Amino acid sequence: MNAYNSFISALASYEIWLYLAWQDIRLRYRLSKIGPFWITLSMAVFCLSLGVIYSEIFNAKTEEYLPYVSIGIVLWNFISGSLNEFPNAYVDNSVYLKEIKINPLIILLRVLARHAIIFFHNFLIVFVIYAYFGINPGLVVLLALPALILVVINLFFIGVVLSILGARFRDISQMSQSVVQLFFFVTPIIWHQRLVSEDSLILVLNPFSYFIDILRSPLLGELPKIESWLVVITLLLFNAIFAKLVFQSRAGRITFWV
Amino acid sequence: MGLIMKRVDLNNICLNYPLVGMAGRSLKNRVLSAATGGFITPGDMPEVCALQNISFSLNDGDRLGLVGHNGAGKSTLLKILAGIYQPTSGNIVISNNVVSTLNLSIGIEPEATGVENIISRGLLLGMKRDEINKKMPEIIDFTELGKFIDMPVRIYSSGMMTRLIFATVSSMDADILLMDEVIGTGDASFLAKASKRLNEFIERSKILVLASHNEETIRNFCNKALLLDRGNLKYFGDVNEVFTIYKDFK
């Protein structure tokens, strides 16, 4: 399958994957009063308890630590949620792949769009934090938008590879979940970047520390490191090439594997 | 000028279907196998040859019936025509706008309402949202579901469910229509109305490919037939001829 054409036609079919992604969210919360805002509420409870308890443990100021950890968790939840679901994308949707002609990338985009919708619900927490703590991040916050776009495209290309691998090898899903879990601990999300030296390997070799930096820093009113941007853009190029190669050679086989 | 477009053209199509066993699915076993120099191997992936050297072409107006025993490759051939399977070798040229009604029950979301299921099914079959909205009143009217159309389909009876899907699928405009057995409705009082709609649906298509075990059905709808036996094309052409040959090797 031609990767470029499939990519364009999948984007053009936005009606399908957006509708199905919204439907996934709507149906899950249809019978509840506040609907999808349960996502926001449960996330808020998690961030609040983590922020209060860990600021005690780390002996940090709550007004500094709580915004830091909450924004980090909201961002990480989007990244890890998508990554954890990618390997199962085609297996879970095997009925579609086997019975109708469907561009596999449409299924992938449905998964990504669903996690993006969850993320936007969770993002309300950031506004509540701004209001409560009287934080004004300033104009630098605008940098978060291109950063988000860059991260989403990166996630998509990683998804192309993970979903195909996950369809062929069923243990990819277990492996990647463990790896994602590991990255949660080595990425500065619940602990502050300051706690390790700047050239610490867990920051330098960890791609997610750059993802988090370009997103979280502007949201906290700080300028992200220029290296972070450069690394994320480089990763994007590598992921795109790798995704293209894997898709081109293997996408036609997915139907036989699921 | 000989400008009759071959809308469907298959040339030497072969399809090998890999049987991915549990061992072959594990990356761990693969790595183990490579690390031990193949000493511990998960075994090679066996392949089943589902279709061999299939060549034929269809033009506008052709109604092709696929005939053959269970496992002869009828459904596999339909899936190749639908673009679901990519052939292992050979060329296939097919004009756009293929609609396949291979499996009607897929993609039904039990928690979603009838209307929502019409929309998602329509989108998955390749309709645009505008087109679906335009057809919606007519589809809803045909289903005779009344107020149930706004209720979750999990409360539907199986008859109501078939009506919903049948109405949606048969509202499509297909250049090439693929069917695995004729889509039915099961409901006796509904039957006459449904068969009229089904006939119109088939009439609208330029090419029909229909796989069926029922000789009557094939004779009813088709003007050509193709006989498959264990993945090989035995005969392609006249319907009567095909059934004569088919009866011979029964």
B1-55 pLDDT, tens per residue? 345 566 888 998 999 887 776 556 677 777 777 666 655 555 556 777 889 889 9
What pLDDT sits at residue A41? Answer: 93
Mean pLDDT of B90-115: 82
Contact B110, B149 (CB under 8 A): no
Inter-chain touch B83–A95, beta carbons under 8 Å? no
What pLDDT sits at residue B45? Answer: 65
Task: Provide the shortest C-alpha distance from residue B38 to chain A (in Å).
Answer: 18
What pLDDT sits at residue B201? Answer: 87
Name every residue in A having a CB less than 8 A away from some CB of B.
1, 15-16, 19-20, 23, 27, 30, 95-102, 165, 168-172, 175, 252-253, 255-257
B215, pLDDT greater than 60: yes
What pLDDT sits at residue B185? Answer: 58
What pLDDT sits at residue B22? Answer: 56
Q: Which residues of A touch B125 (CB under 8 A)?
A: 100
Task: Provide the shortest C-alpha distance from residue A91 to chain B (in Å).
Answer: 12
Task: Provide the shortest C-alpha distance from residue B188 to chain A (in Å).
Answer: 28
- As for the ipTM of the complex, it is 0.84
- Single out the residue of A181, A177, A150, A141 nearest to residue A162, CA to CA: A177
Q: What is the pLDDT of residues B117-146, one digit of tens each?
A: 999 989 988 889 999 999 999 999 998 888
Q: Which residues of B touch A172 (CB under 8 A)?
A: 27
10-residue stretch averages of pLDDT, chain A, 258 residues long: 88 94 89 83 94 90 92 96 96 88 94 96 94 91 96 97 93 93 94 84 90 96 94 96 94 87
Which of B16, B80, B95, B124 is most worth mutating to test chain A (most A CB atoms within 10 A of its CB)? B124
What pLDDT sits at residue B186? Answer: 60
What pLDDT sits at residue B43? Answer: 54
Give the count of beta carbons closer than 10 Å to the beta carbon of residue A169.
21
* Sign of the C-alpha dihedral computed for residues A240, A245, A247 and A248 taken in this order: positive
Inter-chain touch B18–A96, beta carbons under 8 Å? no
Question: Given CB atoms, is B84 within the 8 Å cutoff of chain A?
Answer: yes
Q: Which residues of B touch A99 (CB under 8 A)?
A: 84, 102-103, 106-107
End-to-end, the C-alpha distance of chain B in Å comes to 44
The residue whose two tokens read 């070799």 is A205
Q: Which residues of B touch A255 (CB under 8 A)?
A: 84-86
- Give the C-alpha separation, B199 to B248, whole Å: 31
What pLDDT sits at residue B160? Answer: 87
- Give the C-alpha separation, B170 to B156, whole Å: 20
Q: Which residues of A touch B26 (CB under 8 A)?
A: 169-171
Inter-chain touch A16–B123, beta carbons under 8 Å? yes
Residues 2-21 of B with CB under 8 A from A: 17-18, 20
What pLDDT sits at residue B187? Answer: 62
Q: B65 - beta bridge partners?
A: B210, B225
| CA geometry: angle B200, B206, B208, nearest 5 deg | 80
Minimum-distance CB partner of A27 among B17, B106, B109: B109
Inter-chain touch A23–B109, beta carbons under 8 Å? yes
What pLDDT sits at residue B195? Answer: 84
What pLDDT sits at residue A7? Answer: 93
Q: Which residues of B touch A102 (CB under 8 A)?
A: 124
Task: Provide the shortest C-alpha distance from residue A45 to chain B (in Å).
Answer: 28
Q: What is the pLDDT of residues B141-199, one digit of tens each?
A: 998 888 999 999 999 988 888 889 888 888 888 888 888 887 665 666 777 888 888 88
Inter-chain touch B27–A171, beta carbons under 8 Å? yes
Q: What is the pTM of this model?
A: 0.89
Inter-chain touch B28–A171, beta carbons under 8 Å? yes
The residue whose two tokens read 């469910």 is B161
Q: CB under 8 Å, gap of 24 or more: what pairs does A186-192 form?
A: A187/A76, A187/A212, A188/A72, A188/A212, A189/A69, A189/A72, A189/A73, A189/A76, A190/A50, A190/A54, A190/A69, A190/A72, A190/A73, A191/A58, A192/A58, A192/A60, A192/A65, A192/A68
What pLDDT sits at residue B1? Answer: 39
